[in-house]
Amino acid sequence: MTQYPLGQIVIQRIVESICTAFDPLSFFPETTPDDWARHRTWMEPRALDPVSGNLVLPIQAFLVRTRRHTILIDTCVGHDKSRPQWLFWHMKKFDTFLPRLAAAGVRPEDVDYVMCTHLHSDHVGWNTQLRDGRWVPTFPNTKYIFARSEWEGFEALHRKHPQPQFLDSVLPIMEARQAELVSGDFALDDEVWLEPTPGHTPGHVCVHLASQGSEAVITGDCIHSPVQCVEPEWIMRADFDPTLARTTRRSFLERYCDSSVMVYATHFPEPSTGRIIQRDKAFWFEYERIEG
Ligand SMILES: [Zn+2]
């Protein structure tokens, strides 16, 4: 498993699965076949599966080890979760996540913080596990960091339309008193802080990392696919506030374009890391080389 050093921080991807269930026209509902004709060639095979024609989207967490803390950014889909709206995640068992975390040398009890970029089902799943018929925190010694505006947004949504992932993967963390609700620009310390990036969800955040002059940002879902670097206006089907999502994505791309900040893009295909550069008057994602 590749380790990406960032000053005195080490970042590792913990991949739960590679999802190829979404066809691009329904994932980006305002796009047309003509739109995709412009991008299919460069998107295939890495970001668009040539066989099914569907998007290639890793479902993954980032393990971040600083000198002080062991942190997990997002927690994928998880086990036994009832997700009737997403049949490919419904009641699944992914025997990948905890073993890969173990292979990286981390047991659940070693995790100090879980930070969820947002509260969708592919980002909160391993927050909890089913034990004796109850959802309990997977990570017993962990503070789970949620942005307060995200929590409040989903609490309101849940009251109107029950949100299964809120019920089984977020509320039990509150009940176990392991949640900490924070502002969208919360800083854990001078190496790890949140960046408010609302739009995909009400209180979505990115996670910024810095050590010894090197910086990185973990995107969560403020951008889903490298095609949105070229087409930042394309909204994703689940974007809660499409106008705000567009504005946030564009300012994210402008902020990091041609900078030295490494971007870890949660749903971008292998190796999911690289830099945003300007190419032909558009943004472009330049992947880091795949190592070993
Ligand atoms: Zn996602």
In a domain, 110, yes or no: yes
191 CA distance to ligand 1 centroid (A)? 24
How does residue 68 score in pLDDT terms, banded at 50, 70 and 90?
A: very high
71 CA distance to ligand 1 centroid (A)? 19
In a domain, 266, yes or no: no
pLDDT score, position 85: 85
In a domain, 100, yes or no: yes
56 CA distance to ligand 1 centroid (A)? 12
In a domain, 128, yes or no: yes
pLDDT of 33 > 70? The answer is: yes
Q: What is the CATH number of the domain that holds 114?
A: 3.60.15.10
CA distance 250 to 228: 9
67 CA distance to ligand 1 centroid (A)? 28
176 CA distance to ligand 1 centroid (A)? 25
Burial 103-117 (b: 16+ CB within 10 A, else e): ebebebeebbbbbbb
Q: What angle do CA 132, 126, 25 make, to 5 degrees?
A: 130
pLDDT of 89 > 50? The answer is: yes
65 CA distance to ligand 1 centroid (A)? 22
pLDDT score, position 290: 62
Work out the mean pLDDT of the chain and round it to a whole number: 96
In a domain, 76, yes or no: yes
pLDDT of 7 > 90? The answer is: yes
212 CA distance to ligand 1 centroid (A)? 30
266 CA distance to ligand 1 centroid (A)? 7
The pTM of the full predicted model, rounded to 2 decimals, is: 0.96
Contacts 24+ apart (CB under 8 A), 252-255: 252/197, 252/206, 252/219, 252/222, 252/223, 253/223, 253/229, 253/283
pLDDT score, position 86: 84
Q: By residue range, what is the domain housing residue 206? A: 3-223
**Tally of residues, the chain:** 292
How does residue 87 score in pLDDT terms, banded at 50, 70 and 90?
A: confident
Residue pLDDT, tens place only, 149-176: 999 999 999 999 999 999 999 999 999 9
DSSP letter string over 208-224?
A: EEEETTEEEEE-TTS--
- Total domains in the chain come to 1
In a domain, 230, yes or no: no
Side-chain-side CA neighbours of 185 within 13 Å: the count stands at: 0
In a domain, 284, yes or no: no
Residue pLDDT, tens place only, 273-292: 999 999 989 999 999 976 54
DSSP letter string over 122-159?
A: HHHGGGEEEETTEEEESSTT-EEEEEHHHHHHHHHHHH
Return the SS3 of 20: coil
272 CA distance to ligand 1 centroid (A)? 13
pLDDT score, position 292: 46
CA distance 227 to 30: 14
CA distance 118 to 72: 13
176 burial (CB, 10 Å; 0-12 / 13-18 / 19+) is middle
In a domain, 274, yes or no: no
